[in-house]
Every structure is written in C-alpha cells, then in structure tokens.
Structure 1
Amino acid sequence: MIFKCFIYFIILAQITVSGSEFNCNEISFNLEEIVNKTETVNEIIYAVINGNESGVTNDELIKFTDKFGHRFADFDSLELSIDYVIRLFKNLGINVYIEHVEFKAWKRGEESAIVSTFDELKNRSNEVNGKIVEFKFNFTKYEERVQYSYYGASEASRYGAVAALIKSLTPFSLYTLHTGTQNYFANFTRIPAASITSEDAELIARLSKSETVKVELILRLSETQEKPMKSRNVLAEVKG
C-alpha cells in the first residue's frame, strides 16, 4: 500500500491548488528518525525502480495527463481530474479529505508571435529601452536558472523593455515549452513575458548575429483576471 501511495503522490501534486507559498526552511528534520527508516525507504526505492512497481508511476502519469490534459483554474478538466484522484485514493483504501480553496481565475487570451526580422539585442541596459529582451542561457541546474523565468520580465522592464522572452528551462528539448511562475516587482511596469522553446531561442540568437539578416519579433499577448473562483485541494492520509 505504501508503494501505491508513493506512486500516486506525484499525480496529486499535479493538481493541487494552494494560496500560500511553500518554504523549505520551515521544515524541521529528526535525523535519528530518518536514519531509523533507512531500510523502509530503501525498500520503497527498490520497489519503485526495480520491483513490481517499476514503471507504474510513469504509466499512471501518462494515463492521467492523456485523460485530462491541461488543468487550468476554472476549467472542467481541473475539477474532473480532482474527482478522478479522489476515486483513485478511495479505491486504494486511503483516507481522503477535501480542502476548498478560493483563487483568481486566469484565462489565456489572444497570443501570437510572428517572426520576420530582429535587431540584435545585447544584454546592455542602454540598448534595452523599447526593445524585446530575450533571456538565453546555458542550462546548468534548474535552481540556478529559474530566476530568469521568475524575475525576467521585471528585470527587463527595469531598463525600459516592452516585453521579455525566456528560454525554456530544460536541458533537453523536443520543441516543447517549459513554463513557470512569473513575478512582477511593484515599482516596474508589468510587461508581457513569454516562454520560447530552446530551439527558437537558439534560432533568434543566431539570426541576431547575422550581418545580412535583421530580425523583428512582434508579440501580441493578452490575458484576463476573472472574479475569484472556488476549487478543491485533495488531502490523503495513510495510517501507519
């Protein structure tokens, strides 16, 4: 049973809605207790990687994402996926609790990117005003590069940029996007920000260095903040 709980935890994490931030520094650990559980932890790891649970996590996650797709706030897919996880936990004999939460419903508006020409944009403040800034970086570790996704738009706006493009935060790409949280500083204009694939980021960078090609990127991005909506968090308890 504990293996199943471990496997389905990742699915639960995919749909949880929360109004508060998670602070790892607030977590306290009992080292002796952790050491005493080493054998149990190793059994779980073996079962998930090499044992009868091998591949189950990935298979269930594929089934879940194929069935529900995106789970944006205020979309039927979110609520249906929550119902699915509740049934899943109940079928596994796990205690399930529902926590109702209220949040602002975000809806994507019109979006388009038309690439024809673009003036090479160097990352210098005296060249940024009125321009679109692209943050192109070599991926090392997620925690070292996520700052561009989180603060990129505000840092670009600080120097007068009109929009920001952030290269996908991933070491490997199949022309797929990795998006994340965008934070805005209170004292700077909230400019549009968009994630672009690693391939497109490299293409724009190459074209911007060309002596015969000038690149211009036109972005039209819009979104709306709807009235507060309600949804649910799913809490599962495994009694030991």
Structure 2
Amino acid sequence: MAGRFTGKRALVTGGGRGIGRAIVERLAAEDAAVVVADVDLAHARSAAEALRDKGFTVEARTLDVGDPASFASFDERLDVLVANAGIQTFAPASELTVADWDRVLDVNARGTLLTLQLAARCLREGGAAVTVASIQALLPNALSANYAASKAAVLSLTKSFAAELAPRGIRVNAVAPGRIDTALSDFGSEQVGRITGQDAAEALQRRLSTNPLGRIGRPDEVAAAVAFLASDDASYITGECVNVCGGDVMA
C-alpha cells in the first residue's frame, strides 16, 4: 500500500487527535507530506512530532474551521484535503439551545463549507477531497439533533462540491463513521448516560449488541476508507459516501 501518495501534499483538518490523527498517520505512512491543521496547536504539534520521529514528512498548523479568517494563510497547492474537524453537544431535541445549535453548525457545517472552498482554491487538477460525515446524518438522533443535522449538511455539501469540481478532475467524497473508539465517542456515552440516567458502559454494550459485526470501530479503519477515496484507486468515484460502521447502516 505504501507509495499511493508519493510526491503528494495533503491537509487534514482536526488532525491532532482521534479519527483525524489516524487519517494523518495513514496518509503519511503512504508517503504523503501532511499538514496537520487543528484549532488546538498543541495537539497538532504532538501528532506532527510523533510522525516526524518515524521519518515522515508532517507539519503542524493552526486552523479554526469555523472562522473564515483562519483560512487566509492557506494558499499552497494541495493534492488531498480531508475535512475532518467536528464537535458534538448533547441535549434532548426539545431542549436544544440556539447557542448549541449555532456552535455545532458553525464548526461542522460552515467549517466543511469553508474547507471545501479551500479545496476548490488549492487542490491541483485531479486532486481529491474527503469529508467526514457520520451515520447520524442518516438516522434520528433525539439527543444530538444539531450534530445529526450538521452531518447531513456535510453530505449535501459533498455532493454539491463534487458536481462543481468534477470538470477540473477533482473528486469529492465522504465517509460516514459509526461508533468509533475515540475520546469523542467516550464523551458521547457519558453525556447520553447523564441525560438518560443509564450506565454509559451498559448503554454502549447494548448498542454494540445490535451491530452486525458486533464491535466498536477503530480510527484506523476510518482512515483506511479515507485513504482509498483520496487515492487513484477511487479515480472513478465522486459524490459518494462510504459508511464505516460495521453494518449499522446499509445503503
């Protein structure tokens, strides 16, 4: 697999931890020069330093995807751009505040819009952009309706940009992770437990018991799907979404 991104430059938003960091590691392992862009520069630097110690070409940059001004310094040519940055809050839909709606939509939806606009400016002809959505975009989510709506917007934006950028040979696709073993997933379990009064670990096990593969996913499994979509192996695929969820959603 090594070498699919030899001579190519990639940028990953939210690349300092979780799924984003796994994506950075996968692209770097396949010989890409990777920019780790994260609102938390300390996390970005930690990821970059760990990979540079292994001999990979990785650099850290600050980027707040919800702030249009934060994109002003990014004007380099890229071959791959991954729109991964995202946040989540939890509350019953009937109690969701406008502040939490705006906070999540600003990062997840507007952030994806701005990141794909960066892709339109910076990707070379024949380049690829991959967005990170969620299977929650396809499912009801009574305890995180803002997150589900924001990820539905990610899928819609992916298709719109795929259509606009296709004449330039630029492909735009999405991955939709299910339950993945990350700190954000643990936070989600804690928050759902807080709201419902359920034990978080027991609630997770009940959910996994209905998963066809019967387990939680790994960040590297999402990264593998991203790397495929970003590579020439997916050269005739655009405007699509790959569900990485162990069969929780089959479409």
Q: Scaled by the length of structure 2, what TM-score is found? A: 0.24
Name the larger-Rg structure. Answer: 1
Higher helix share: 2
Of structures 1 and 2, the one scoring higher in RCO (CA 8 A, sep 6+) is 1
Higher strand share: 1
